[in-house]
A and B are shown apart, each in its own frame.
Chain A
Amino acid sequence: MDKVLAILIANIITNNYILFKFMGLCPFLGVSKQTKPAISMGLAVIFVLLISGIMTWIIYAYVILPFHIEYMRTVVFILIIASSVQFIEMMILKVSPVLYKALGIYLPLITTNCIVLGVTVINTEDFFAAGKPIAWSFAYSVLQVFAAGLGFMLVLLLMSGIRERLALTDTPESLDGLPIAFIVASIMGLAFMGLLGIK
């Protein structure tokens, strides 16, 4: 139970993937100008993270480790991610054209979103030891990808609200746009650090 809580808090807040690990910054800066697309992007990322988290765990535990091809991890993972993104895109198009309209343009971008590759690689380091999955490894991995996605969405949402407001103000010209967004992210990170060490 403690570990579950620790994973949730670390991934959502104190080790937030955007603010503290800088993963997923490109889509973060790209789609955080307005709230609506930010929500869609957040949902799409959570979705892709869950599917790729499950797929990479299975392949890593049952193919890569037994055959001792750990050096293929990066290539295999990125292929899994790219193909699951493709698969999700086709599936959503078939099942719900409405949802496809909302998420469609964001899905291809997620392939090169470092958060997906990042979390799945970190999973293999956190929840595998000596070439074997640790106890509850699969459940922890799924929880970790889910929490990472939630944290991504939380910060994306907060940022979109702030940037909508910033669009109306007169920031000095050379700080306008991205530099001020970085400064906001920096102060947000400082604030989130207040929750460090929660137990």
Chain B
Amino acid sequence: MKKLWREFIKGIWTENPIFFIVLGLCPTLAVSTSVNNAVGMGVAVIFVLVCSNVIISMMRNIIPDKIRIPCYIVVIASFVGIVEMAMKAYAPALDKALGVYVPLIVVNCIILGRAEAFASKNPVIASLIDGLGMGVGFFLALFVISAVREVLGSGKFAGFAIPVTFEPAAILVLAPGALLVLGLLMGGIRWIKSLRS
């Protein structure tokens, strides 16, 4: 039980996919203009990551070593297809806002990375927990970045205007602002980590 807890917690802090391993940046930066988009993307990634980790872990002894990567990609792409269809049917506005970045979950390096590094070598339960931990870590990082960008960049939180006494800096909801926020947050988190050790 303790081991499983450690698998879960590592994805959230010590091996956070965005801030420390630096994977899956493309959706992180592109959809973090608002908290709503970020939550949508975060949930979609958690779903795909957990499902693909479980399936790949189940099949880890059947998949031949040589063609494992294409096999993983097909598994991941199928789950992304499910997400795409579900989103189009039940959340068309979100689907429109996320646009091309939904199909791009297929090539989100976090998912393939966990398949290769963890699910292909570990039993099903551990893989599920690993996927959940990494997914939640991704979700939280995305949430923080999008909150910073939306509050400071457009003076809103999750679409609701907040009573602000400053003028929002439009740059933060533009693309260069995304890179700037990520760079500074990453530097800040490293700094906190260095203070602790």
Contact = CB atoms under 8 A, between A and B. Distances in A.
B180 A71 contact: no
Majority SS at the chain A contact face: helix
Interface residues of B, number: 42
A74 B190 contact: no
Nearest to A113: B107
Interface residues of A toward B: which range? 35 or more
Interface in B73-111: 73-74, 77-78, 80-81, 84-85, 100, 103-104, 106-109
Nearest to A17: B26
B84 A71 contact: yes
A195 to B, nearest CB: 14
Given A112-B109, A173-B194, A183 B183 contact: yes
Contacts of A122: 100
Contacts, number: 122
Contact of A19 (B108, B109, B171, B176): B176
B30 interface: yes
Instruction: Classify the interface of chain B: helix, strand, loop or mixed.
Output: helix
Contact of A174 (B85, B112, B191): B191
Contact of A117 (B84, B107, B112, B188): B107
A180 B183 contact: yes
B137 to A, nearest CB: 17
B190 A20 contact: no
B88 to A, nearest CB: 9
Nearest to B191: A174
Interface centre among B81, B179, B190, B194 (most CB of A within 10 A): B179
10 contacts: A74-B84, A82-B73, A118-B26, A172-B187, A175-B187, A178-B22, A178-B183, A182-B186, A189-B176, A193-B176
Given A112-B107, A173-B194, 8 more contacts: A21-B30, A22-B28, A111-B69, A111-B107, A114-B26, A125-B100, A182-B182, A183-B180
Interface of A: 19-26, 29, 71-75, 77-79, 82, 111-114, 117-118, 121-122, 125, 172-175, 178-183, 185-187, 189-190, 193
